Structure 1
Amino acid sequence: MTVGETPVTMVGTVISDVTLKRVGENANPLATFQLRATERKYDREKGAWLDHRQFSIRVKCWRKLASAAHAALRRGDPVIVMGKLFVSEFSGADGQVRSVPEVEAWAVGPNLVLSRAAADREQRGGGAAPQAWHSPESAHESQESQEVGAPLAVA
């Protein structure tokens, strides 16, 4: 981390398509998407959860994370994003300087409270994956065989 950096963790929903482009001399991958975090409160009189304040922010993912986010994320996916908060400035068509909050992500993953996901682990060092690792297909099969709310079985 850098001195003065503002680390954040945001829980929200992907509300845009994830775009991927290559930038710079080295053509590094850059994925961007909009994230919306919605505060919810329980209303006892109505007996229901109601949406309250919302916060939307642009998320930037670089290099390996960019490619993974572009391949894995879709509009509507519940995610958790960790990164550093900063403000981008640009000049609008009227010449006025505008400021936009952004998060440069160092980690993005599914919110498992609201979705299911199987880890597709990358092999390192060329060897076989440890026995505890399962293919995404076998992980999906074991998830479907469990009841909702039941503790997860550990191999």
Structure 2
Amino acid sequence: MEANVTMSGYVGGDVEYRSGQDNRVATGSFRLACTPRIRRGGDWRDGETTWVTVTCFRALADNAASSISRGDPVIVVGRLRTQVWEGRDDGERHERMVLEALTIGHDLSRGTSVFKKFERSVPLEDPDAELGELIANAEAKALGDEEADEDAA
């Protein structure tokens, strides 16, 4: 079962962006700092900060890299994943929780933002429509050839 998680906090550093070259998808990642405010004895203070790695892919990675910076308050909705790897030096198994982002946005309760709609490139022609046009042309040519054969007879 998939469960979406929503987290808010501050971007801990610039987005590490890798462009989608050599048949790879564009990826982005950054650390998200979530620090709760705790009231004790009438005073407010910061609790322990939880750090989460956020990853994103494709257009979301492109847009995150160009839109968010260190210190920005953001809200992230995504899926919690466990990332597992073998250590290079010790050969031991390591793991950490990663938030695979489905959407990222500025937290507007902490400031303002300006939205610029993502401009898509011109979509390619529909390949099915192109195939249909080729078939129609071939059928028309075949009908034309049959009519020419009938006229010659």
TM-score (norm 1): 0.70
> In structure 2, do the counterparts of structure 1 residues 34 and 125 end up closer, same or farther at CA, with 3 Å as the change threshold?
closer
> In structure 2, do the counterparts of structure 1 residues 23 and 121 end up closer, same or farther at CA, with 3 Å as the change threshold?
closer
**1:81–1:105 Cα contact (<8 Å) kept:** yes
Q: CA deviation digits over 1:51-110, x for unaligned, max 9? A: 113211111110000000000110100000001001000112211111110011010000
Quick check: 1:86 aligned with 2:76?
Answer: no
Aligned counterpart in structure 1 of residue 16 of structure 2, from 12, 15, 19: 19
Cα displacement (A) at 1:22: 3.1
Quick check: 1:73 aligned with 2:54?
Answer: no
Aligned counterpart in structure 1 of residue 46 of structure 2, from 20, 42, 51: 51
Distance (Å, rounded) in 1 between the aligned partners of 2:120 and 2:21: 28
Distance (Å, rounded) in 2 between the aligned partners of 1:125 and 1:56: 36
| Unmatched tracts of structure 1, length 5 or more | 127-155
The structure that has the greater radius of gyration is 2
Cα displacement (A) at 1:17: 1.6
TM-score (norm 2): 0.71
Identical positions, percent = 31
Q: CA deviation digits over 1:114-142, x for unaligned, max 9? A: 1210211235798xxxxxxxxxxxxxxxx
Identify, as 1 or 2, the structure richer in strand. 1
Q: CA deviation digits over 1:26-73, x for unaligned, max 9? A: 231101100011111234533xx3111321111111000000000011
Identify, as 1 or 2, the structure richer in helix. 2
Pairs aligned (count): 121
Quick check: 1:117 aligned with 2:109?
Answer: no
